[in-house]
Structure 1
Amino acid sequence: MKVCFVQKQMFPYFGVMAISGQLKKHGLETDIVIDVCEKDTISALKKAKPDLIAFSVLSSEHGWLRQLSAELKRQMPAIPIAVGGVHSILYPEEILTLSGVDYVCCGEGESSFAELVDCIAQKKSAAGIPGIFYKEGGNLMMQDVAPITQELDSFFEDRHLYYGKYPELGNLALKVFMSSRGCPFLCSFCANSYIMQIFKGRGKYIRRKSPQHFVEEIKRVVAEYPTTSLFFADDLFAMDVRWLETFNPLYKKEVNLPYICTARVDVITERHVRFLSESGCHAVSFGVETGNESLRREILKKNISNKRIFEGVGIIKKAGIKVQTSNMFCLPDETVDDAVSTIDLNIAIGTNYMFTTVFLPFPKTALAQYCMDKGLLKKDYSFDDMPNSFIQDSVLSLDNKEVLLNIHKVAHLCVRFPRTKPFLIYIAKKVKCKQLFLLFWLFGTFIRFREERQLSLWKTTCYLWEYRRGL
């Protein structure tokens, strides 16, 4: 039995790696096809000769899923198609109604998906498998959500699935890992607040690998693939100070590579930062989101003051660690002055690497409803209206929308080179040329990638050349 995973974007998905690792433990064969890396995705899938095609999809890719799954069903009608990922947890019914989709995995699929593969191999119904929604006689059969995977030390993620098929991923000098699943906070712009409710009462939501297992996982990758630095991309890596206390000496002894990690600026303490610094952390990433405190607190439900951001950054910088921030533009109710204040706040706190996106509301969420009530979104807003990326455009009907988008494109350059800010903001307000501001964004992204990931000019160029396909 062979399962071929399909995704659009060019980076390893943790859910896919985890499930592939579990399937291989059961003696099954897995493969991967990345849409942006293939000249013809359908031909690549035909060449793979799978017994099951398994999509992993982001919500912004719903249109891509609909079109590709329908065409696959037309050209490969005997091959069942399943869909998983965060999108399938949030919108299982919307996915299952698609003509090309046979199964939806709603929940963490380490156990349920292996059961589904076994049922398909034996030509049995998926009835009774928690988290597997399916079609039967033209009806949508909705079952209970899949159980939460409690023991993250029970498997290793299958990175060879990606690195063996697409060596350019394995050759990237920076490798990404996750030590935990789940986040305790309920920011309105994040899927976590909705997933937490779906999983309520189904087991411990915030789970973590043991420091020993996590370090062993890193060692296995570093021993086989070229690696000069790491990114720990947990929702909140610097969360449990006791876990860090155990991780610190073990990582320093066994791995000892520089890394970037995630944190929340109102939670981090001097003790957290001391352990991070001692183990080789060179940058901490956290969300600023916007320079406007009211927008951050009232609209985004992220209850962090600007004062607390300054205090947290002070703790981080005192230890000699750099700062990466996440920021959004084109927020509901955002003005041009608000957008500029986001840049000003980042300059004031000494942000080293400013990551920016364009705000994108997801259908049937409280934020999408807020935008519709304010007349910023059309009443029948759906997945068909969502752009393919969080970079290029906004779906909201905003005053000065073009100026806000221009400010987004020049934001990192303003922060990295503060003396350029007056000029860049001036032309952002006065000049109408999307191509020009896309070039500004590409230049700023090139600088940020090279510096935060500690890459050479050549490796940065190669990475961004591939990354462009997903824009």
Structure 2
Amino acid sequence: MQTPSVKLLLVYPDFTESDTPRKHSGGNYSEGLASISAVLKKAGVGVSLLHLLYEHDKDQFLEKLKGYDFDLIGFSVRTTAFEYVKKLAGWAKEATGKFLFCGGYHPTLVPDEVLAADGVDAVCIGEGEYPVLELCQRFWQKDEDFYRIQSFHFKTPEGGVIRNPVRPMLENLDELPIPDFDLFDFDNLTASKTGSALVMMSRGCLFSCTYCGNSQFRNVYPNRKRYARFRSFENSLLYLKTLLQKHPYIQFLNFRDAIFNMYDDWFYGFMEVYKKEIGLPFTCNLRLDIMTEETVRVMKEAGCYLIDVGVESGDEEIRHKYLKRMMTDEQMIHAFSWFHKYGITSLTYNIVGLPFEDLHKALKTIKLNVKLNPDKVIPNIFYPYPMTILADIARKAGFVPDVIEPGTKVPLKQEQFPEHEVLFASYYFLTFLRLYRFAGKLPGALGRGFSRMCDGVFVGRLTPRKALVKLYEGADKCNKGLRRTVSKRLPGVYMWLRRRRNKIAAA
């Protein structure tokens, strides 16, 4: 097709409930948007980004919109921001009348729900680079087959809906241009301010954890068996060298691939070339049940300073029966012993508020972390993402309300695990982790007695959990404000503390 002289505005709502209108820089890099932009710009499409760092009211949003020249507007939509995007889409359509579409995880999982929103003309399902390019080309040409673009669902002028099949995903990631890092105000991203960059060498995941959307994203494609893909070594190095040439201050790389050690051949080969050609300290996500001590040793030699691992639940019944994560406690303990042996900082992700969980089962997750002894621990509250297997299990059990309001902290409504108990378990997860670690250092009976006392406080009926939740929320607000101030106004101090915390030697 001929090069289109069309302009696309991408809108990226990128904030949490705690972000305020005082936030004028920062935010997160989006690999998906950068990749779409690279493909479109290569074909001559004009692309700009409205990166929203806090929730705007109507006047604020429309004032921002006036600063852009565009023919089409595309919204990146995550599940927890959908209610807000619906408002933005309505305002944008009312003010501009421009063709408006949505893409991302939420439209891929529940396209009909997104397409039904006022102002939305179409939704893109799955990877968007080439479907969006075709949309721009046909829009510019006023092509009569405009409504027949694969991977798009459209509202028609007559009020109907056209649902086109999803095109096969691109199996060779090397065919994509290097992402358009310049789409973002890259130097002012949150990660950039601390000398870090988020990068991805792959797409997809081999595994089917029930709480994760990957198991359902895979199923939208006709060539789903090729869902988990990596760039070649050469293309991966080109990606990284392009980024570092543009932003030479980057000192840390954060690989955001779903599972960095999915394929042994790729993993060991890439670690070797990375060590020789890049050599920067890096972090990544690992899957414990497919790793060995050799995995950890090789990563350490290549510069890995932090490994992220999903523990999720310390209750084996929940982990195996409901999460479909078949790793055992013993496998995890062995893996963490290797992290400690090679001096790599470890971080665990944990979930509380899972279907059929209660305080006693949540406590098992804390105690498993005590045995693993990670350097960092992140507790998250379960969210039933649409179309995931675990969300369906929770819905059939009657735990999911008809509407989850924006800002809801505990989405599931479970009689055996009420909201204030889930918040207590999440907020005081680290506190009890430290207490149990302290108990382990005490001699014999004294340690066991202190541990039993902690059990009683965590699950006991007399513990004032509602009051403790309110106390935590107030203190946390002050702490986050202080951390943001230090990273913004004293980035040198922040980076020194980061190196010290992660045991990284100065360059």
TM-score (norm: length of structure 1): 0.87
Paired with 1:407 and 1:447, the residues of 2 have a C-alpha distance of: 24
Deviation at 1:239, TM superposition (A): 2.3
Question: Which of 284, 292, 302 matches 2:315?
Answer: 292
Aligned to 1:410, which of 422, 428, 448?
A: 428
Q: What's the CA shift string for 1:308-331, capped at 9, x where partnerless? A: 111222233322222111111111
Aligned match for 1:438, one of 473, 484, 487: 473
1:4 aligns with 2:9: yes
Alpha-carbon distance change, 102 to 415 in structure 1, aligned in 2, over 3 angstroms: same
Shift of 1:199: 1.9
Q: Is the 8 A contact 1:6 1:33 kept in 2?
A: yes
Partners of 1:182 and 1:235 within 8 A in 2: yes
**Number of residues paired by the alignment?**
451
CA distance in 1, matches of 2:236, 2:181: 14
Over 3 Å counting, the alpha-carbon distance change for 1:284 and 1:397 in structure 2 is: same
1:322 aligns with 2:356: no
Larger radius of gyration: 2
50 and 171 in structure 1: CA distance in 2 versus 1, 3 angstrom threshold: farther
Partners of 1:213 and 1:328 in 2: how far apart? 35
**Is 1:307 aligned to 2:330, yes or no?**
yes
Residue of structure 1 aligned with 2:184, choices 144, 150, 162: 162
- 1:2 maps to amino acid: K
- Equivalent position SS for 2:378: strand
| Residue of structure 2 aligned with 1:212, choices 196, 213, 234 | 234
2:39 counterpart (11, 17, 22): 22
Cα deviation 1:161-218 (Å, max 9, x = unaligned): 1125955564342211111111111111010111122224356211100122212212
2:228 maps to a residue whose letter is I
* Runs of 5+ unmatched residues, structure 2: 1-5, 15-26, 440-450, 498-507
1:133 match:
153
Counterpart of 1:176 in structure 2 is 198
Q: State the match for 1:90 in structure 2.
A: 109
Amino acid at match of 2:40: L
CA distance in 2, matches of 1:114, 1:346: 47
Determine the structure 1 residue equivalent to 2:400: 377
Aligned letter for 2:203? R
Which stretch of structure 1 is more off in the superposition, 26-35 or 434-443? Answer: 434-443
Of the three residues 353, 357, 363, the one matched with 2:380 is 357
Matched, 1:34 2:51: yes
Q: Distance in 2 between matches of 1:443 and 1:339?
A: 27
How far off is 1:335 after superposition?
1.3
Secondary structure at the aligned position of 1:34 is classed as strand
- Are positions 1:119 and 2:124 aligned together? no
Please give the alpha-carbon distance, in whole angstroms, between the structure 1 residues aligned to 2:128 and 2:286: 27
Partner of 2:500: none
1:144 is aligned, of 165, 173, 182, to 165
Q: Partner amino acid for 1:404? A: V
Quote the residue 1:468 is aligned against: none
Q: Partner letter of residue 430 of structure 1?
A: P
**1:441 CA drift (Å):** 5.1
Identity percentage of aligned residues: 27
Amino acid of the structure 2 residue aligned with 1:233: R
Matched to 1:243, the amino acid is W
Alignment of 1:201 with 2:223, yes or no, is yes
Query: What's the CA shift for 1:388?
Result: 4.0
Distance change >3 Å, CA 399–CA 291, structure 1 → 2: same
- In the TM superposition, what is the alpha-carbon distance from 1:241 to its structure 2 partner? 2.4
Whether the 8 Å contact between 1:2 and 1:52 is mirrored in structure 2 is yes
Deviations 1:43-70 (A, max 9, x none): 2122112211111111122211211101
The alignment partner of 1:144 has SS state of: coil
| Partner amino acid, structure 2, of 1:316 | F
